[in-house]
Structure 1
Amino acid sequence: MHTNGSKYYDNEEFFKNYTLKRASLKNPNDTIEKPIFMELMGKVSQLNVLDLGCGDGRFGVDLINFGCKSYQGIEGSINMYNSALNNLESFQTSNLVHSTIENWNFPKGQFDLVVSRLVLHYIKDIEAIFERIYHSLSDGGKFIFSIEHPVITSTLQSSGKKTDWVVDNYFIRGKREQHWLGENVTKYHRTIEDYFHHLKAVGFNIESLRESEPKMDNFENEDIFKRRLRIPLFLFFSSTK
């Protein structure tokens, strides 16, 4: 049974709207999130990589083209999983599993790098997942993830273009609902401190924290760039075992 974020992408209308949104050259995933993620990740040559919530597999294609030794993608949405199968079908070094992150049986000490992009804010028991990730890494392995920034998840957000953001109930953790792409989407709000302490609690050494400050070089439109300077959309952590 699908849980959390993956189930929304199996709604055909939602999946269609999401696909159209991501196709835009102005989308913040590609103008802000991906460039920072790539900076944190660095070289992946000869690494065994696990991608949690791999989506349509396009990032997996990037990782394989960058020379990773093996690529394992975990995806809970059947629509996303099928897209990933299509995008990765020509790569023998890839392996895809249709499973939610919560239900997947993490192997011990198998990966050199675990990545997860904009997925973990859908997870209820984040420390349990951090612990399973920790044990799936080889000694010295790295875990890098991005999430919606807590100033975004801290308040209910209506659909459409926002011009003002009101941070509210920041220190009240738990479920938050957002009407997005025609669906009421449930996410889990935590503070920056929460993520930090959950990582430390399971044994990770935290190397870097980023708050998604945009760079003009990644934007074709200066007005959109200036708008993105107003508030952090994403939060990133890089940590090692």
Structure 2
Amino acid sequence: MDVNTDFLNINKESWEKSAERFFGRTALPEYGPFSLSEEQLKLFGNISNQKVLDIGCGSGHSLQYMGNHGANELWGLDLSTKQVETANKLLRNQQVKVSLFESPMEENPGLPSNYFDIAYSIYALGWTVDLQRTLLNIHNYLKPGGIFIFSWEHPIHDRLKYEQSSFTFNKSYNVEGPEYNEAWHNNVVIYHRKLSTYINTLIESGFTIEKVIDDVMLPEDESSDNPSRWYSTQKAELVPATFIIKASKKH
């Protein structure tokens, strides 16, 4: 068993315990905390009759959004048994084909090659323990000309911590690698990667980058916010919480 397998097992165990907390959270049309939404960005374009694949589909709410907007096949994979079970229940009334797999994104659980018009991942891709392998898989699943859109926590966000009435950098942005994650009370391992690493690995995997977005949308009412929260308005005023990348597979 290698280190990455150990990390996947640790993360799967934590997700099985915590899945209910995340049912329906951070799902399309939302991309993530303090971020523009799909209703504002319109990155997907026309979803009608598209075959779509959700990487880290969670409770299935993003796939439900896709089905409600006319997608004609809904496919997804997720590491967590509980998430896949919940997604299957949520999507059972969809009038189109639904195929969900319990699998790490680093492995192909039986997905077809050159098949999907759209692949996407909403606040899930950063869980991968092998970014290049995952992106090569996704590139393989897509048709030529297919698009891949994903969002994730901005890698500068957790470098900043609120202590003694001010924000300070308490971790290096430049040092990459696996870390126990404070937001999960150090019960999961997430790789810290620079934004440039995501961009360059996409390019190395054969993708063309179309758009990179890290604009911040602050709520109108921030009076009751607590600056020590993981996602606080005060922190969002300083650094983005979320980034989004749209890429495509060359024809």
* Percent identity over paired residues: 24
CA deviation after TM superposition for structure 1 residue 10, in Å: 0.3
The 10-residue stretch of structure 1 (220-229 or 88-97) with the greater mean CA deviation from structure 2: 220-229
Root-mean-square deviation (Å): 3.1
Matches within 5 A, 1:15-164: 15-19=19-23, 22=25, 29=32, 32=35, 34-35=37-38, 39-93=42-96, 94-105=98-109, 106-153=111-158, 155=159, 164=167
CA distance in 2, matches of 1:220, 1:83: 33
- In the alignment, the residues of structure 1 paired with residue 123 and residue 178 of structure 2 have an alpha-carbon distance, to the nearest angstrom, of 16
Distance 1:239 1:220 in 2: 31
User: Which residue of structure 2 aligns with residue 233 of structure 1?
Assistant: 241
**Gap runs ≥5 in structure 1:** none
From the superposition, tell whether residues 9 and 213 of structure 1 become closer, same or farther in structure 2 (CA, over 3 Å).
Answer: same
SS of the residue 2:239 aligns to: coil
Q: Which whole-Å CA distance do the structure 2 matches of 1:44 and 1:163 have between them?
A: 44
TM-score normalised to the size of structure 1?
Answer: 0.82
Tell me which protein shows more helix as a share of its residues: 1
**How far has the Cα of 1:240 moved from its partner?**
0.6
Supply the AA of the counterpart residue of 2:248: T
Distance in 2 of aligned mates of 1:163 and 1:5: 31
Q: Alignment partner for residue 208 of structure 1, among 211, 233, 244?
A: 211
Q: Say if 1:157 and 1:30 are closer, same or farther in 2 by CA, change over 3 A.
A: closer
Q: Is the 8 A contact 1:134 1:202 kept in 2?
A: yes
State the one-letter code of the partner of 1:178. N
Equivalences, count: 229
**Equivalent-residue separation in structure 2 for 1:41 and 1:192 (angstroms):** 22
Contact 2:32 2:242 in 1 (8 A): no
Report the CA distance between 1:207 and its aligned residue. Answer: 0.3
Q: Deviations over 1:75-106 (max 9, x none)?
A: 11111111101110111422211222123334
Q: Structure 1 pair 89/19, CA: closer, same or farther in 2 (3 Å)?
A: closer
